[in-house]
Amino acid sequence: MLANVDLSKKIDRGEYKAQLLEYQLRLRDLAFRCYQERRSVIVVFEGWDAAGKGGSIRRITGKLDPRGYQVYAIAAPVVGLHHHYLWRFWRRLLPADVKQLVFFDRSWYGRVLVERVEGFARTDEWRRAYREINDFERQLTDHGFILVKYWFHINSDEQLRRFETRKATPHKRWKLTEEDYRNRARSAEYTEAVDEMLVKTSTLRAPWTLIEGNDKYHARVKSLRHLVEVVESALGDEPGQGGGKKES
């Protein structure tokens, strides 16, 4: 699937700024409708290192009321290691605490990506995870969550250029580690894992959307516009037609 992504897509700065503001304001209105209708949106961001996930999240949340959204940046677990790997995501989605929009900067898909490639999960564990993840996401949508999943894709040359830019920029240098360069050396293994993940976990209820990320402007606008369109569709064309949150 990744081999067929058209990374030449781009937009100019003027178009970017106009569309960004339009969809930021539309999302702000939709977030209020989610609050009124007791619906929550979960947005999963996965992608290559330096693909633009964090930058897109910052633009998507740029006009939102900070009381109505939460961003979780997911790293390697340091607590709860004796729990099932999905436990640390379930606990962030408790009904009493969940916001109108919840963003995961990396997610439960680490099980079939980094844990698979780096050997942190046994073969039988990561193979079983496809079914577990699909069941988990079906439970979320059955409960009334609106679930959106993005894979941010860039090519190897663009990734290296961004790494070098980070290295040369003092306030961005902290983002770059030796692990980022080491992962590049295993890009073939990661690409195989990503392709299999996309095929086995893109469902009718929770499909993957591929974001062409070589041009950051295009990636930010596409992810924001798509999110607005999905939430509008889930809530209905007019306020109040989307239905309330299902009872558990």
Amino acid 237: pLDDT: 54
The upper half-sphere exposure of residue 179, i.e. CA atoms within 13 Å in the direction of its Cβ, equals 7
Residue-level pLDDT at 180:
87
Q: For 186-205, what is the HEC assignment? A: CHHHHHHHHHHHHHHHCCCC
- The 10 Å Cβ neighbour count of residue 106 is 17
Query: 3-state DSSP call for residue 51?
Result: coil
169 in helix, strand or coil? coil
Closest CA to 232 of 115, 134, 148: 148
- CA-to-CA separations, 113 to 14, 45, 117, 148, 233, in angstroms, rounded: 37, 13, 6, 19, 31
| Per-residue pLDDT tens over the stretch 85-116 | 999 999 999 877 789 999 999 999 999 999 99
Q: Identify the pLDDT of residue 223.
A: 98
Cα–Cα distance between 156 and 199 in angstroms, integer?
22
| CA atoms of 228 and 191, how far apart (whole Å) | 29
Residues 7 and 204: their CA atoms lie apart, in Å, by: 25
DSSP 71: E
CATH architecture of 2-235: 3-Layer(aba) Sandwich (3.40)
Stretch (H or E) spanning 87: helix 87-90
Q: What is the DSSP letter of 244?
A: P
Tell me which residue has tokens 């516009």: 225
In the numeric block, the tokens 């569309």 are attached to 19
Which amino acid is residue 223, in one-letter code?
A: S
Q: Which residue has the tokens 């680490």?
A: 110
Digitized pLDDT (tens) for each residue of the chain, 248 residues in all: 899 999 999 999 999 999 999 999 999 999 999 999 999 999 999 999 999 999 999 999 999 999 999 999 999 887 778 899 999 999 999 877 789 999 999 999 999 999 999 999 999 999 999 999 999 999 999 999 999 999 999 999 999 999 999 999 998 888 888 888 888 989 999 999 999 999 999 999 999 999 999 999 999 999 999 999 999 999 995 544 443 343 33
Domains of the chain, residue spans:
2-235
What tokens does 175 get? 């983002």
